[in-house]
Structures are given as structure tokens and as C-alpha cells.
A and B are shown apart, each in its own frame.
Chain A
Amino acid sequence: MSSAKLPPLPAILIANDLLTGDTVFFSGHGWTRHPGEALLAESEAASLRLEAAGQEAMRRNLVVDAYLVDVVLSEGGIPVPRHFRERFRLLGPTIRPDLGKQAEFPGLAAQAGRTR
């Protein structure tokens, strides 16, 4: 099943891990918790491949709610979603910098050029 409308490029595939609920990203050969390891789709064909990988992973009950998110590559090399909602998902609650990926991966927030 492919979606009628793909997001603008470049894009990454984001989902929640079934077991933990954690936000995860498709790396090209599996799912990673670090957004810096997310596979970047820079063509429509690559987006379609990502989307298919998401459908397959949901079918295999690895992840829940997988979808493509359009991003901008930060100077630090992190694909940062254009929409604020997905940016918050990427890093963690803006009110608790001690929690979420921003706390777990030191330097991530700076690499992503966090702007609240």
C-alpha cells in the first residue's frame, strides 16, 4: 500500500517501537533510536522504498505507526523534521531536557541545532 501523497524531500521514516514505544528511525537495514542514523530519502523512488519498509515492519509487528517525515539536514548532520511536532519527537519533551533522546545522546540537541 503506498500513500497517495509523499512528503517533500528529503524525508526519513519514523515510527514507534512496538515493545517499548520509543521513537525509532529506519536506517536502511533495521531500526535505530538515533536520528543521526536515519536513512535519508532524496528521491521519490527512495521515499517509496522507505514507505514500503515501514509497511513491512508494521506487518511484521516490529513497529507501530510508521510514516515519512520531511526533514532538513542540520549542519551537525542530523535530519531535522520541518514540522515542530516531529522535531519534539526527535529530541524529547522541550520542558525536560533531562529526558528523551536529547538526554540519552549527548550533543544530539546541539547537532540538531535545537530551537525551541
Chain B
Amino acid sequence: MYRYDEFDAAFVRDRVAQFSAQVQRRLAGALTEDEFKPLRLQNGVYLQLHAYMLRIAIPYGTLSARQLRQLALIGERFDRSYGHFTTRQNLQFNWIQLKDVPEILSLLADVEMHAIQTSGNCIRNVTADQFAGVAADEIEDPRPVAELIRQWSTAHPEFSFLPRKFKIAVTGAAEDRAAVAVHDIGLRIVRHPETGETGYAVLVGGGLGRTPMVGKWVRDFLPKPHLLAYLEALMRVYNAEGRRDNKYKARVKILVHEIGIEAFRARVEAEFAQLDPQRIQADAAEVARIERYFAPPAYQVLPDNPPAFLRARAANPEFDRWVAQNGFPHKVPGYQAVTLSLKGIGEAPGDISSAGMRLVADLAERHSQGEIRVTHAQNLVLPDVRQDELFDLWQALAAGGLATANAGLITDIIACPGLDYCALATARSIPIAQALATRFAAPARQQEIGPLAIKISGCINACGHHHVGHIGILGLEKRGEESYQITLGGDAGNASTIGEILGPGLGADEVPDAIERLVAVYLAHRQPGELFVDSVRRLGIQPFKTAFNAEIRHDAA
């Protein structure tokens, strides 16, 4: 993975020193809260319901064992011995004290981490496919370009005060696992149909929040050396024309929607034509330096499915189920990527204890080249595990409660922190996730239902990606009570789709039964091998709507 050079290290240290001085000035009364708030947000510090929250950047979701251990230490020393992984592949600590933030940032800098640009109206942490570099369906590893964009966008003087926040996601695979179409910019690494050269297809104007939109193609093929100049042109158009009069209409998706993709594209191309890509693009030597950090590790020549691995699967049904469900095909024979579910039944999605972090760090060193990935679905991945070591890994994970075999299933629920922590939330998310996971806990039942993504947000800002859940749940307030609006048919993958609202809001206690009714329609009408979301597409929303509304109490309407 990428290692800081002297400039990166000095930049992060300087920033720690700068923000530490700002914290001291705040505590001494030299800065008011109004003056301090934008400064703390630029450094990832929020004020939530019970304490300050610190959001730590995990660029494109890649962590080393050493970094994860440091997060465990910070959790123990300054928080409540746990952390929360987010849908932006970041980590949040929920119980931080402001006076401790300088020391925490210094500890993060020790392991090449920071909280810069995890908030504010700037280009945020770049996210990527969690299986980058190892996926069998990958055209090219997206991490080098994600790192290049990270460096280009960090403290970019022109783009530090945008109309609103700006999120970029990258994938290099055939299947979109990074939800690129619901980002301000989505990049897909593609092959030119004639030359075979790799470049980028560029989507713009996707996003969730109160106005969900699927991104539109602004360029089908962008040659690699043009990337930063093209991004610069696009950001300039947004920076100049994005609305600043209304924060709810300030994202680039609104600009694209209001002027239309053709006009937006024309403006970007006109700006791009005035730029000199060679001047803006990083030096070839720098690009090569970044790429070297992501060179594949020295894989051994191994057979696929070695006999001991197959014997262990045959002898241990639970291990077999875990491999089948949480395993992911690796491009190198004899290896596998595996998802470590942070969705144990009844637990808070994305939460992991400091002890759990240390266990994962140790196991990553023992079995996966010391590297861990964070997924936007709030799970962890060990990307490089030898198949003949999977059984040992599984046993160690199971002992630590981290071997739940539910990746992609109905209990692998995305949920934002919601009103248990978040000051912006209008309702709780986590208890809904817990109730649903408990309802559908039986492994055979989950297997029978198959892949089904439930995504829960505790407010309209949609951190829980509810719009693109196969089943989405949005927590709102209605007449002084928590009320949950259910959507159906969303999809975060290649067929990116915004879900449709099924009916009136439900009380929290009604949600599990309502989801049962939706699942029952699917089970009754699915064709052999048809996934839930595909059944919804084929059948349309109506049969689900009918079942959904059949038993709703009218007092909840």
C-alpha cells in the first residue's frame, strides 16, 4: 500500500500542529464556536449528541495492520474501546473529548493517517472497490488513481471552499462494488473499444441525500494522462456555477440536473480545451512511484482448491457456509479474498471493538500480507488469503465473534449511526437494523432468501444509502414519534437505481413484519435462481406495494 513520502509526512504533521494550536485557542477562549466550527470540521471533528465525534479518513478503504492497531489503541485510550466504520469507508469515534483531539491526531500521524477533508465543502475521502487489486473481474487496480486523486485534491487551493461537499468513487472492475453512480463523480476504469488502452469513463452528478440522482455519463473514454486536467475542468464548472444560495441545492447533481448533462458537458469540455493536461497531470515518475506501492505482493504458485481446504469445507458445514458466503474470487489461483462481517446478529452495523481491531490486525499479518480493506457496506475484507490458510483464519475469527457468514445477505444491513449518536438524525437506525437481523437470523432462512441489501438512514441526508437499498428504510419524525419510510427496488451496483416509496411511514415495531411481507412476495413469485432485486424489476413494485399496505395500521399513516 501507499507509504507517505517526506512531503506527505510533513504536511500531515504541520496540519496537526496547526489544528492543535486552533484547539488551544478555542479552549483559551480566543476563538468563538462560530469561528472554530469550520476549522474543526475541516479536521473531522463534529459535535454529536453525547460527545465530540472524530471521523478519520481511510483513503479508498485501505488499512495496514499497524494502522488498525493504532485505531484500537486510540479507541481504548480516548474513546469507549470501539469504533464505527462508515459507508464512506472511514472510521468514526463517538466519544471523543475536544481536549484530546491534538494527541489523537498526532497518534494518527505516527501511522500515516489523518482526519483531513472528512468534512466540509471540499473533495472528501476518495472511495474505491474493496476488492481492488485482487478481484478476478478487474480491468485494473483503481487504488493508484484513487491515491493520485487524493494527493491532487488534498488542500487544493481552488477547491477547498466548494458550494458543497464533493465525493469521488473509483472502480476498476466489471461489477461496480463502489456505488460510483451515486457519487458526485464516479470513475470507471475501462478499455478503449478499439485501441484496448485503459482510461476512464466519467459519471457526474450522482448522489443520495434529499434529492437522490443517478450519475450521468459526461465522458465515455478519458485517456489516463488527461484525468487531472479533466477533473480540474469539471470542478471549475461546478465551483463557478454550483449554487451557493441554498445548501440543499448546492451539490453538483443539482447543477447537472438544472442545466442538463449536454450543457454541463459542453462547459466542461470548453474549460478542458483551455487547460494544458501535461502541465496539470502528475509527472510520469510520480505516477510510477505511486503505482509501485500497489504492485501485487509476491504470490506463490498454488493450486486452486487444495485438498486440505476441500476436506475442511466438507467436514465443517459452518466453515463451508462462511467460505461460500463471505469468500470472494481472487485473481490468483489458490488465494481468496474474504469479508469479515461487522454485522453479527443484534450488533450495531459497522461497529468493532478495540479487541476486535487487534485480532483483525494480527490475522491480517498472519494471513493477508498485513492489509485490511474497509467496505462501503461497513464490513472489513482480508484481500489476500491463501485458501489453505482459510480454515485457521476462520477458527480465529469465530473465536473473536467475527465469522458471521452473512455477507450480502438480508442481515448484512447498512445503517448510519442514527439518533443514538448523530445530532442531525431524525430517528434511530441501529435498533431497526438489530430488530431485522434478529428477525431473519436463522442461517437457513437467510440462504433461502439469498442476496438482499437492506440499507437504513436515520435522516434524509442518507448516510445509510437507503435510496439504493433493495429495501431502503428512512427514519423520520412524524407527530413526535419515529416513523420509517420504506423504499423498494434501489440498486447501488451496475444497474444503479433509486428505490420507490411503498406507502405511508411505519412505527419502529411494524418494520420487521412489513419487511417479512415483502420477502414473502419475492419467495412466492421468484423464478428459479432469480435474486430479490431482479424479481422486483420483473414484477414491478405493485405486488409488493399491495402486500406492504395490506396490514398497515392507519394510525401510523
Q: Are the CB atoms of A21 and B98 closer together than 8 Å?
A: yes
The residues of B that contact A60 with a CB separation of less than 8 Å are: 29
Q: Are the CB atoms of B27 and A23 closer together than 8 Å?
A: no
Q: A58-B33, A64-B33 are in contact. Are A95 and B348 (CB under 8 A)?
A: yes
Output the least CB separation between B342 and chain A (Å).
14
27 A-B pairs with CB atoms under 8 Å apart are A16-B47, A18-B26, A19-B27, A19-B97, A20-B98, A21-B52, A21-B97, A21-B98, A22-B51, A58-B33, A60-B29, A61-B27, A61-B33, A83-B480, A84-B481, A85-B49, A85-B419, A92-B50, A93-B50, A94-B428, A94-B431, A95-B420, A95-B431, A95-B434, A96-B420, A99-B80, A100-B50
Q: How many angstroms between the C-alpha atoms of A99 and B348 in the bound complex? A: 14
Q: How many angstroms between the C-alpha atoms of A86 and B173 in the bound complex? A: 45
Q: A22-B50, A95-B431 are in contact. List 9 more A-B contacts (CB 8 A).
A: A20-B51, A21-B50, A23-B50, A65-B47, A88-B428, A93-B50, A93-B420, A93-B421, A99-B80
Digit string of A31-54 for contact with B (CB within 8 Å is 1, else 0)?
000000000000000000000000
10 smallest CB-CB distances across A and B, nearest first, come from A21-B52, A93-B420, A21-B51, A61-B29, A20-B97, A89-B49, A95-B430, A19-B99, A64-B33, A95-B420
Output the least CB separation between B344 and chain A (Å).
13
- For residue B381, CB closer than 8 A to chain A, the reply is no
Nearest B residue (CB) for A103:
B80
Q: How many angstroms between the C-alpha atoms of A116 and B96 in the bound complex? A: 25
Q: Are the CB atoms of B47 and A61 closer together than 8 Å?
A: no
Digit string of B33-53 for contact with A (CB within 8 Å is 1, else 0)?
100000000000001111110
Q: How many angstroms between the C-alpha atoms of A96 and B50 in the bound complex? A: 12
Interface of chain B residues 405 through 427 with chain A (CB within 8 A): 419-421, 425
The residues of A that contact B49 with a CB separation of less than 8 Å are: 23, 85, 88-89
The residues of B that contact A94 with a CB separation of less than 8 Å are: 420, 428, 431
Nearest B residue (CB) for A60:
B29
- For residue B151, CB closer than 8 A to chain A, the reply is no
Output the least CB separation between A92 and chain B (Å).
6
- For residue B482, CB closer than 8 A to chain A, the reply is yes
Q: How many angstroms between the C-alpha atoms of A79 and B463 in the bound complex? A: 32
The residues of B that contact A21 with a CB separation of less than 8 Å are: 47-48, 50-52, 96-98
Q: How many angstroms between the C-alpha atoms of A105 and B50 in the bound complex? A: 15
The residues of B that contact A65 with a CB separation of less than 8 Å are: 33, 47
- Which A residues fall within an 8 A CB radius of B? 16, 18-23, 58, 60-61, 64-65, 82-85, 88-89, 92-96, 99-100, 116
- For residue B32, CB closer than 8 A to chain A, the reply is yes
- For residue B85, CB closer than 8 A to chain A, the reply is no
Digit string of B73-111 for contact with A (CB within 8 Å is 1, else 0)?
000000010000000000000011111000000000000
Interface contacts (Cβ under 8 Å), in number, total 72
The residues of A that contact B348 with a CB separation of less than 8 Å are: 95-96
Nearest A residue (CB) for B433:
A95
The residues of B that contact A84 with a CB separation of less than 8 Å are: 419, 480-482
- Which B residues fall within an 8 A CB radius of A? 26-27, 29, 32-33, 47-52, 80, 95-99, 348, 419-421, 425, 428, 430-431, 434, 480-482
Q: How many angstroms between the C-alpha atoms of A82 and B477 in the bound complex? A: 14
Nearest B residue (CB) for A84:
B482
- The residue that A61 contacts in the complex, of B32, B48, B421, with Cβ under 8 A, is B32
Q: How many angstroms between the C-alpha atoms of A65 and B424 in the bound complex? A: 14
Nearest A residue (CB) for B48:
A21
Q: How many angstroms between the C-alpha atoms of A46 and B421 in the bound complex? A: 30
The residues of B that contact A89 with a CB separation of less than 8 Å are: 49-50
Q: How many angstroms between the C-alpha atoms of A96 and B346 in the bound complex? A: 12
Output the least CB separation between B98 and chain A (Å).
6
Output the least CB separation between A54 and chain B (Å).
13
Nearest B residue (CB) for A61:
B29
Residue of A58, A82, A93, A100 ringed by the most chain B CB atoms within 10 A:
A93
The residues of A that contact B419 with a CB separation of less than 8 Å are: 84-85, 88
The residues of B that contact A95 with a CB separation of less than 8 Å are: 348, 420, 428, 430-431, 434
Nearest B residue (CB) for A22:
B51
Residue of A21, A23, A58, A88 ringed by the most chain B CB atoms within 10 A:
A21
Q: How many angstroms between the C-alpha atoms of A68 and B160 in the bound complex? A: 35
Nearest B residue (CB) for A99:
B80
The residues of A that contact B481 with a CB separation of less than 8 Å are: 84
Output the least CB separation between A34 and chain B (Å).
14
Nearest A residue (CB) for B480:
A83
Q: How many angstroms between the C-alpha atoms of A93 and B53 in the bound complex? A: 14
Nearest A residue (CB) for B95:
A99
The residues of B that contact A88 with a CB separation of less than 8 Å are: 49, 419-420, 428
The residues of B that contact A100 with a CB separation of less than 8 Å are: 50
Nearest B residue (CB) for A100:
B50
The residues of A that contact B430 with a CB separation of less than 8 Å are: 93, 95
Nearest A residue (CB) for B37:
A64
Residue of B27, B48, B51, B482 ringed by the most chain A CB atoms within 10 A:
B51
Q: How many angstroms between the C-alpha atoms of A85 and B481 in the bound complex? A: 10
Residue of B49, B51, B52 ringed by the most chain A CB atoms within 10 A:
B49
Q: How many angstroms between the C-alpha atoms of A21 and B420 in the bound complex? A: 15
Output the least CB separation between B92 and chain A (Å).
13
Nearest A residue (CB) for B32:
A61
Q: How many angstroms between the C-alpha atoms of A94 and B50 in the bound complex? A: 12
Q: How many angstroms between the C-alpha atoms of A83 and B6 in the bound complex? A: 51
The residues of A that contact B420 with a CB separation of less than 8 Å are: 88, 93-96
The residues of B that contact A20 with a CB separation of less than 8 Å are: 51-52, 97-99
Q: How many angstroms between the C-alpha atoms of A88 and B50 in the bound complex? A: 9
Nearest B residue (CB) for A82:
B480
Output the least CB separation between B44 and chain A (Å).
14
Output the least CB separation between A82 and chain B (Å).
8
